[in-house]
Structure 1
Amino acid sequence: MADQSRQQRTEDTAPRTRYRAGDIVLYRDAEKFWTGRSGHTTVCKVERSWTNVNSGARMYDLIDVTTKHHLTGHPDYMRLLPPVDAMHDIDTAPLSEPDVGAMSAAAVAWLRQALRTDTGQPKVPAAD
């Protein structure tokens, strides 16, 4: 009975999502994870989805963004990495602060890119 309850809780909390080409996901290799091997969790880009003809399961072709290795992922072991999380430091950068050091490096890089003129020179004055 306890095992059935635990299984139901797991099923209830697992996200039911379909991924699109171009999505950035966290992928966990379940076999490596459960056997204690390193390298079990990687950031990947979704290339395409397809249906396994034997099991009927939706599967995904992934590319590890660090190594460029191709992987096949089952959606139970994938989680979307939302763009809002990746952009949080830029979205919440203290733009009214005179001290550029108060902003994260990513926010400063984004601002410099956004403020470039046609000549490629930054418009933001250099910090004293």
Structure 2
Amino acid sequence: MHGQYVLYRDPALYWAGKPGHTFPCRVLLNSVHLELESLLSGERFKADPDYARLLPAGDCMRDVDEAPLQGECPDLQPAAVAWLKQNMQREAS
């Protein structure tokens, strides 16, 4: 999980009903506890892995993966074409 992105829920804040209990983080170290860095504040802390969920790359890249090749989103067209070329080359090898 090192270098991956997770959604972390601070159980103490959550059960106390306080705001800001769930936020995205980057995994710095994966051992008995995760060492996380908040993407919002930059704070580094140790966390119980039971309260972290992996954020799939597919969710982050969905707009590129599903971008039309022409039309509504001309800014995404180069990214979508590049993605298609890379995947077509992989499948051909």
In structure 2, the CA distance between the partners of 1:109 and 1:65, relative to structure 1 (3 Å rule), is farther
Q: Where does structure 1 differ by over 3 angstroms across 4 or more consecutive aligned residues?
A: none
Q: Which residue of the other structure, out of 78, 87, 90, is the alignment partner of 2:61? A: 87
- Runs of 5+ unmatched residues, structure 1: 1-19, 51-57, 116-128
Identity score, percent:
35
TM-score by length of 1: 0.57
Question: How many residues get paired?
Answer: 81
Once the two structures are superposed, residues 53-106 of structure 1 have per-residue CA deviations (whole angstroms, 9 ceiling, x without a partner) of xxxxx21000001210012111110000010111011100011x3x3xx23xxx
Greater percentage in strand: 2
TM-score by length of 2: 0.76
- Runs of 5+ unmatched residues, structure 2: 83-93
Contact 2:27 2:34 in 1 (8 A): yes
Q: Which residue of the other structure, out of 63, 66, 78, is the alignment partner of 1:111? A: 78
* 1:36 corresponding residue in structure 2: 17
* 1:124 corresponding residue in structure 2: none
Between 1 and 2, higher relative CO (CA 8 Å, sep ≥ 6) is seen in 2
- Coordinate RMSD, CA, aligned: 2.2
